[in-house]
Structure 1
Amino acid sequence: MKFYETKIDCQKNGVHQITDWVRQCIADSGVKSGIAVISAPHTTSGISLTPYMLHDYDLQDVQIQLDVIVPQRVDYTHQFDTPADAAGHTKSAMMGTNTTLIVEDGKPVLGHSQGIFFYEFDGPRLQKCYLSVYSD
């Protein structure tokens, strides 16, 4: 197993493309065939495979729709921080904080328009993202 960590300077409700980082780490690992596990170890973050476009329309759509489904409000039972933090916990739980990719020929197996994105549902804050690459 090879383990990698990166830090992401997240703005409020930020979306960060991590596809290139994941590809580079897998290449550096030397693993030709196996799996890669990506983890966002935070309660207001998420990992998603989303269209990897030249424009950020799809990313904005995801954030907008999550805001519609889980708006910031003051009646959450979790009120230790802010309404954005409470909503961020729910969005993180809905999106998920981990994903697993197949590694083949030393590359992540992705669809032709898929990219890997790190979402922050509160912020701003410095977050970590982990990647473990396993050989079969």
Structure 2
Amino acid sequence: MGIYYDYFSAPDDQAAASAFAEGPDDAGFDTVCVKTIDPAVLLGQAVGLLICEPVSRVTGHPRFVHLVTSSEAESTWIVTLPDEVRDAMADAPCERLAEISIPWSQAEEFYGCADPGDLADFLNELAALARRARSHDHGLYCHMVL
């Protein structure tokens, strides 16, 4: 068993929450799916590397992994990512994403099993999603399913 993460864009929190039951892809939202990269820890680390700031600065933002669905749910959640994360990802060149993927791949949470090339591919997909989201004035969200 594992947790699946669907990063997606939506116009606002209410629209994002509408993807709770069926998932953002099935609900028609622009989505990037991944199994191992959670928003709270691993994505926070990548963004910290990207903006050259401590992870605590990234994760300390009030909209970083802010729950937009019921806290009563036991196996499905939708959380926000701040516009600052969206914009940092949207502005990141491919070369920079590949560069940060190397130290990021060594994060303890990857247990020595992360390939920097695969991580760079994910970051490039997320950056493309962020660019599309910003062009439509949408926010980024993550749908998590246990």
| TM-score of the pair, normalised by structure 1 | 0.31
Name the structure where strand makes up a greater proportion of residues: 1
Greater Cα radius of gyration, structure 1 or 2 = 1
